[in-house]
Amino acid sequence: MKTLYKIALVIAASAVGLMAADYLSATDHLFAKTAGQGGMAEVKLGQMAVNKGSSQKVKDFGQRMVDDHSKANAKLKSIAGKDNILMPSQLSAKDQGLMNRLSKLSGPAFDKAYMSAMVKDHETDIALFQHEAGAGSNPDLKGFASGTLPTLQEHLSLAKDAAGSVGAMAMK
């Protein structure tokens, strides 16, 4: 009977250990969801900029968003699959609203609105990724966040430059 009890304890302890390893904190889950939705939005908005932008800087920036965020999305999707994280398949309501608003614009009005949104978005993204890199509990997501930060910081610099060249309102 004691042997059976010991085996049951070992099995129970193993199960608890496996559950703890699979546990994803609320912060990590929110980061993965937000980063996934944001990455999808960057690609779709970038494609829109390539097609609708009137300034070459806006078109080039849009293409850069498509390229870089497609790569980041693939990395995040790989982490999500490995760590059993359910990733969103649709844009957030906020991002869909921006897509709808930008789709009605053209020429310089599109360029200004898109670049203003990209400056603001990348400022928000950097804060989100810095938080995850510092406070996240999932090592894969923390690594993704810290590894992606330099690219996001470069995007913000490029966005500010392009925003200035098209006369978009300066964002803090």
pLDDT digits (tens, 9 = 90+) for 41-99: 999 999 999 999 999 999 999 999 999 999 999 999 999 999 888 899 999 999 999 99
pLDDT digits (tens, 9 = 90+) for 21-30: 456 788 899 9
Q: Can you give the pLDDT at residue 129?
A: 98
Q: Alpha-carbon dihedral of residues 41, 46, 52, 56, nearest 10 degrees?
A: 160
* CA distances in angstroms from 79 to 98, 135, 141, 171, listed in the order given: 28, 18, 7, 33
- Its pTM stands at 0.84
Report the top-level CATH class of 24-165. mainly alpha
